[in-house]
């Protein structure tokens, strides 16, 4: 299922290209497999530094559920979450994160930091890295090669 869900996140990532945003996409899946939230980077689209794909998807899922607690959900994202997004994931009580490409510069799910599994916090997240990794990484490489 992780690879299939990553396909939804990749579709969202491609939609970010329409607004000139970095192509990162996310989806929140409910306990029953229902899509509760979709998100893509919208920082350029809205001039909002917090409009990362994960935050957008988490907000949509919380609204749909009528609760900020996303217990039982899975967040699927094309790039390893940054520290801001990892903090939001922990605070939303998301139990599982699936991601595609590693972020060796700003990742907070095992590469630079490991906020999602930090034992001093009050919630820990199960992490499934590298799902459709090459496809996710290629989308980002192509985007950045066109901007240099």
pLDDT at 148: 55
Q: Which of 12, 42, 54, 80 is catalytic?
A: 54
3-state secondary structure the chain: CHHHHHHHHHHHHHHHHHHCCCCCEEEEECCCCCEEEEEECCHHHHCCCCCCHHHHHHHHHHHHHCCCCCCCCEEEEEECCCHHHHHHHHHCCCCEEEEEECCCCCCCECCCCEHHHCCCCCCCCEEECCCCHHHHHHHHHHHHHCCC
State yes or no: 73 annotated in a binding site. no
Q: Does 109 fall in a domain?
A: no
Interval 30-60: pLDDT, tens: 999 999 999 999 999 999 999 999 999 999 9
pTM, rounded to two decimals: 0.96
State yes or no: 85 annotated in a binding site. yes
Identify the segments of the chain with pLDDT beneath 70.
147-148
Q: Does 43 fall in a domain?
A: yes
Q: Count up the domains in the chain and report the number.
A: 1
CATH code of residue 9: 3.40.140.10
Q: Does 97 fall in a domain?
A: yes
Q: Does 139 fall in a domain?
A: no
pLDDT at 114: 97
pLDDT at 146: 74
Q: Does 113 fall in a domain?
A: no
| 54 part of the active site | yes
Interval 16-28: pLDDT, tens: 999 999 999 999 9
Q: Does 140 fall in a domain?
A: no
Q: Does 93 fall in a domain?
A: yes
Residue 32's domain spans which residues?
1-102
Q: Does 144 fall in a domain?
A: no
pLDDT at 47: 97
State yes or no: 52 annotated in a binding site. yes
């Amino acid at each position: 299922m992780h690879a299939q869900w990553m396909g939804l996140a990749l579709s969202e990532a491609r939609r970010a290209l329409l607004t000139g945003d970095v192509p990162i996409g996310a989806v929140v899946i409910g306990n029953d497999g229902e899509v509760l939230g979709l998100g893509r980077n919208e920082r350029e689209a809205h001039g909002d530094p917090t409009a990362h794909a994960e935050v957008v998807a988490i907000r949509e899922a919380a609204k749909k559920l009528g609760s900020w607690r996303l217990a039982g959900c899975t967040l699927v994202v094309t790039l390893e979450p940054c520290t801001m997004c990892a903090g939001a994931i922990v605070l939303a009580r998301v139990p599982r994160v699936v991601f595609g490409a590693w972020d060796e510069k700003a990742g907070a799910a095992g590469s630079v930091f490991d906020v999602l599994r930090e034992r001093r916090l009050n919630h820990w997240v199960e992490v499934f890295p590298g799902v459709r990794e090459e496809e996710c990484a290629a989308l980002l490489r192509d985007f950045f090669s066109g901007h240099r």
